[in-house]
Structure 1
Amino acid sequence: MDDLRAQAPETLLPGKSIALVHEWFAVTGGSENVFVAMHEVLPQAKPFVLWRDPAAQRGSGFQESWLAKTPLRHAKPLALPVMPLTWRTLTREHFDVVVSSSHAFAHTVKLGSSEDTRYLSYVHSPARYVWSPDFDGRGSNGLLTLPRKALQAADVRLSRHVHSYAANSMEVQSRLRRFWNRDSRVIHPPVDVDYFAAAPAHERMQQRGYLLGLGRWVGYKNFDLIIRIADAAGIPLVIAGSGPEEANLRREAEKARVPVTFEHRPPRERLRELYWGALALLFPAHEDFGIIPVEAQACGTPVLGVRRGGLLETVVHGETGFLLDSLDPAAYASALRHVGSLNHDRIRAHAWNFSADVFKRRIASWVADDAS
């Protein structure tokens, strides 16, 4: 590992007026963590969001858009068609540099009429509702069927002024090239490796005797497959998280021959304990990046997942986990027989490549290179 754990410079773009913009700011999430870390790199910047969840403990100084005062803040798919307009009517203030954190239309933001303003956009993914409705069921809303093509055209047309893009993974980088015909540099999102790499209290530690499935209980995460993998391997399973598929998953778990335990929204401390006590994290889902597998590796826990998407960038096959082309439970059960040969210290060391310090340094380098 190189010196990327060094801190980002304290001062960037001295004398420049800077705006930071983000989509909606929810209670927790990877994109919100990115935005907070960006603000730490650029503390002098003025932060804007479409709206902020009242329950969010961070971001109290963020300026909300006019959408925050409408019922559309509670209906994201319905709000999509007016988001481009929102990003063009956000404020009359002038800024020298505008940096966006975008997973919908934030990259189309344009403040004022000055042609001298530099626009940089960090993209979590082109809007799945618009570009990949088959990947994200929320985009299959019938109300979006007709305007989708218009939204795609607007997405491209309204972002031509962006000077530089950064993508959160090579997976997203390829989408920017395919959908928008734009190049970008890859800057992986920050993971709190410091926290997860610190072992929990020994009296609360469990020996690595169960498999772990973690995340939102939605269809494309394949939690039903995770249950079948544990059953085929004959190893107890813990499923942690929450989501609309809970009832279906509980019915599936009742059919399993191994114990399946559900933990609903475990707090952060408990989550770390679950990682440290697991034999392996099962993650057979196609993700843009995937923060959960990195958190698991920070705990020395190997990852078993599909050989596609972000896992190709975060898991070293045969060293920090195993990547499979199959969705056959028997194939995963076979791979699980080899996790004992993996070195937990090597797995933890790999996770440091995705730490918050690495992210901040790379963001600082991007801004310094492309904002002038």
Structure 2
Amino acid sequence: MKRAVVHDWFTVNAGAEKCIASFINNWNDADVFSLIDFLSDQDRDEILNGKRVTTSFIQKLPYVKSRYRSYLPLFPLAIEKFDLSNYDIILSSSHCVAKGIINTNKQLHICYMHTPVRYAWDLRNQYLEDSGLNKGFKGFLARFFLNRIRNWDLKTKDRVDHYIANSNYVAERIKKIYGKSSKVIYPPVNVGNFKLQSEKDDFYLAASRLVSYKKIDLIVESFAMTGKKLIVIGDGPDMKKIKSKASSNIIIMGYQEDKILIDHMRRAKAFVFAAKEDFGIIPVEAQACGTPVICLSEGGTKETVLDGITGVHFHNQNKKDILEAIDNFEKKINDFNPFEIRKHALKFRTERFEKEIKQYIEEKYKDFKKNL
């Protein structure tokens, strides 16, 4: 049996790449395809066990390493150029165009979907604004190409035999956008790297890439009104704006190595997370440290953080709701049991993911072979 794994792009070792690492751990003989591949040697070893990736023509375009998203209009064409006709099973890992890989009715295509194309659907306006493409002739062209990608995304929905969603939230969006049902299998979280610490220090922690949809600026503004100590770890294009909003009780540490991030995550009295994520790995990592999470009750964190048990939910992305959630947490702080919080996080461990994904694919392939 020949297997192919298709991933949108390899540029960093993030949440989607952790899924690829598990796929390769299950099927080390699989060949890997992607639009581009700029992994470091260390990341290649961790994600792909040293495997080389077959890339598209986009790999050779000018300035692609630093500006690959500028070639978004070419992504559908590039993904369709791959010839996977010799493979029995195609497993795509898609948050952009990987699900649109061309296959035949003699091949089983299962898509692990992190999200439908963000740029074409729910984050379209934010993408245009953040890219400076929301006005004028450039804005007109950008909307034209995003409309084409949206149409292509809908046209290619039936190339997938079975969808797997990384959360119930994503499953709902798959149903709404594509009209397709999906199996929910939560992504892997390497909780073994995060050790329990029951004694906490007197500070709150926020950590992520500093981009607009993560809402770190909103967290900083909220804590500036409380006087409570907040530490922010992460870097990104919003760094200057976030620093300008920080008061004396807020420390912006910028990018830090994993060991420093984990140390702060273990010691924090609570982890604060205001983004609406498809799943959101870092709140699960915080819980693996026995640290409660104060988070938005939408998206993946609605499922991964248990309100009143492993954290506190707030319902809207505004300062009023965040301040109320902090106040509620402070009142109930002694009710949170670090051991129970970690126990909940262990449900998302990598071994669970690999077992579930392998079992699901083997079952579907067995059924597929019967019907050939």
Instruction: Name the structure with the higher helix share.
Output: 2
The RMSD of aligned alpha carbons is: 2.0
Q: Does the aligned pair in 2 maintain the 1:128–1:139 contact within 8 Å?
A: no
- 1:336 Cα offset (Å): 2.7
One-letter identity of the residue aligned with 2:207: L
Any idea what SS the aligned residue of 2:234 has?
Answer: strand
CA distance in 1, matches of 2:233, 2:253: 5
One-letter identity of the residue aligned with 1:351: A
**Corresponding position of 1:161:** 159
CA distance in 2, matches of 1:73, 1:96: 32
Q: Does the aligned pair in 2 maintain the 1:304–1:321 contact within 8 Å?
A: yes
CA distance in 2, matches of 1:330, 1:161: 46
Any idea what SS the aligned residue of 1:217 has?
Answer: coil
Any idea what SS the aligned residue of 2:119 has?
Answer: helix
- 1:198 Cα offset (Å): 5.5
Structure 1 stretch displaced more, 159-168 or 226-235:
226-235
One-letter identity of the residue aligned with 2:72: L
Structure 1 stretch displaced more, 33-42 or 136-145:
136-145
**Corresponding position of 2:58:** 67
**Match for 1:192 among 190, 193, 218?**
190
Q: Does the aligned pair in 2 maintain the 1:211–1:280 contact within 8 Å?
A: yes
Q: Does the aligned pair in 2 maintain the 1:229–1:332 contact within 8 Å?
A: no
Any idea what SS the aligned residue of 2:4 has?
Answer: strand
- 1:123 Cα offset (Å): 0.5
Aligned 1:286-325 pairs, distance under 5 A: 286-325=276-315
**Match for 1:119 among 99, 109, 134?**
109
**Corresponding position of 2:250:** 260
CA distance in 2, matches of 1:24, 1:320: 34
Any runs of at least 4 consecutive aligned residues in structure 1 with deviations exceeding 6 A, and if so which?
Answer: none
One-letter identity of the residue aligned with 2:9: W
One-letter identity of the residue aligned with 1:129: Y
Structure with larger RCO (C-alpha < 8 A, sep 6+):
1
CA distance in 1, matches of 2:77, 2:338: 50
CA distance in 2, matches of 1:332, 1:231: 15
- 1:85 lines up with 2:77 in the alignment: yes
CA distance in 1, matches of 2:186, 2:132: 28
Q: Does the aligned pair in 1 maintain the 2:163–2:181 contact within 8 Å?
A: yes
Any idea what SS the aligned residue of 2:90 has?
Answer: strand
Give the TM-score of the pair, scaled to structure 1: 0.88
Any idea what SS the aligned residue of 2:194 has?
Answer: helix
**Corresponding position of 2:334:** 340
CA distance in 2, matches of 1:38, 1:194: 19
The unaligned stretches of length 5 or more in structure 1 are 1-15, 200-204
CA distance in 2, matches of 1:234, 1:340: 21
**Corresponding position of 2:150:** 152
One-letter identity of the residue aligned with 1:27: V
* CA pair 305-56 structure 1, distance change in 2 beyond 3 A: farther
One-letter identity of the residue aligned with 2:178: W
**Corresponding position of 2:86:** 94
* CA pair 138-366 structure 1, distance change in 2 beyond 3 A: farther
- 1:197 Cα offset (Å): 2.7
Structure 1 stretch displaced more, 57-66 or 169-178:
57-66
**Match for 1:228 among 218, 221, 225?**
221
The unaligned stretches of length 5 or more in structure 2 are 134-138
Any idea what SS the aligned residue of 1:130 has?
Answer: coil
Between the aligned residues of both structures, percent identity stands at: 29
- 1:134 Cα offset (Å): 3.2
